[in-house]
Amino acid sequence: MLNAPRCARGNEPAPPPYRLVARHSGEAAEVVGRRTANGTKVQQWPWIIPS
């Protein structure tokens, strides 16, 4: 992998992103601004698969 993102822990590759989808709505969760702080808002959006 060229220019792959790296973990803050060292030089190992960052884990792949996850897709969190609610069973009841089928919508995907999105963390606003990719923040990690407590209290960060989470939104739900329809999961659209590109064609």
Domain map of the chain by residue range? 17-51
Tens digit of pLDDT per residue, the chain (51 long)? 445 555 556 666 666 677 888 888 888 888 888 888 999 998 888 877 766
CB-based contact 30:18 (threshold 8 Å): no
Q: Which amino acid is at 31?
A: V
Residue 28, Cβ neighbours under 10 Å: how many? 15
What is the Cα–Cα distance from 11 to 41, expressed in whole angstroms? 30
Q: Measured between alpha carbons, how far apart are the two ends of the chain, in Å?
A: 25
Overall pTM > 0.85? no
